[in-house]
């Protein structure tokens, strides 16, 4: 059984996917973490964000895999667990640019398909329903307004003391910029698969969204 959850940043995909997977006893695969690990590798190699040729070359020497510890996905980059290093703004920015590179996508998509072949998964990302698992039994396109996503991100950063003087408006602007990049890139742009269920979480709680998806599975 394969469940695909796609949508823009901040729609709540990872929280929801994790809960749905736990409730079904499936593995939750966070594909964004793989693009982030690759971005970290490119940053470490000193490759420029606008140098697609060097990125394509460098990515060949990045061995990315995942393993699970206490049910939590860990991303391994050339033998090093980098899970705690991939959530910075710098990595987010690089991942948003380098994930448009077709050579990088090809490498990570094949890893994702292999994982889904081995076991039942709930996989989240941008192109899971459209490209990675077009034959998924259930596809969800989870979204929320840019304002609501910015508010969630603002709250999360404030709680961590990581706001660094950033305003809600600045966060909203960067979310809109990232959406634009993810939706207009040539390779595997973020879009709703024709057979995906649209779930707008703007006015829904985490529990309500999880229940709505489980209802789609159980009927």
Positions touching ligand DC (CB under 6 A) are: 9, 31-32, 35-36, 95-96, 99, 125-127, 182
Q: Report, in Å, the least distance between residue 33 CB and ligand DC.
A: 6
Q: Cβ neighbours of residue 114 under 8 Å, at least 6 residues apart?
A: none
**Residue 86 main-chain phi, psi, to 5 deg:** -110, 10
Residue whose CB is less far from ligand DC, 17 or 213: 17
Number of residues assigned to the chain: 219
Distance between CA 99 and CA 34 in Å, rounded?
10
Distance between CA 101 and CA 173 in Å, rounded?
24
| CA quadruple 84, 40, 181, 197: dihedral sign | negative
Q: Report, in Å, the least distance between residue 95 CB and ligand DC.
A: 4
Q: Report, in Å, the least distance between residue 127 CB and ligand DC.
A: 5
Residue whose CB is less far from ligand DC, 186 or 215: 186
Residue whose CB is less far from ligand DC, 19 or 36: 36
Residue whose CB is less far from ligand DC, 12 or 125: 125
Q: Report, in Å, the least distance between residue 217 CB and ligand DC.
A: 21
Distance between CA 69 and CA 77 in Å, rounded?
16
């Amino acid at each position: 059984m394969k469940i695909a959850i796609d949508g823009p940043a901040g729609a709540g995909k990872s929280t929801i996917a994790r809960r749905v997977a736990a409730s079904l006893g499936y593995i939750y695969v966070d594909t964004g973490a793989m693009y982030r690990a690759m971005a970290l590798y490119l940053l470490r190699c000193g490759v420029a964000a606008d140098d697609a040729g060097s990125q394509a070359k460098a990515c060949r020497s990045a061995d990315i895999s995942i393993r699970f510890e206490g049910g939590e996905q860990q991303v391994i980059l050339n033998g090093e667990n980098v899970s705690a290093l991939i959530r910075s703004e710098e990595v987010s920015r690089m991942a948003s640019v380098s994930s448009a590179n077709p050579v990088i996508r090809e490498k990570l998509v094949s890893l994702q398909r292999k994982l889904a072949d081995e076991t039942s998964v709930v996989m989240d990302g941008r192109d899971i329903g459209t490209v990675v698992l077009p034959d998924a039994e259930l596809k969800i396109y989870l979204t929320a307004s840019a304002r609501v996503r910015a508010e969630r991100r603002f709250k999360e950063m404030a709680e961590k003391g990581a706001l660094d003087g950033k305003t809600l408006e600045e966060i909203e602007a960067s979310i809109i910029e990232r959406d634009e990049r993810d939706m207009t890139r040539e390779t595997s742009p973020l879009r709703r698969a024709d057979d995906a269920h649209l779930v707008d979480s703007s006015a829904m709680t985490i529990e309500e969204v999880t229940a709505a998806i489980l209802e789609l599975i159980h009927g």
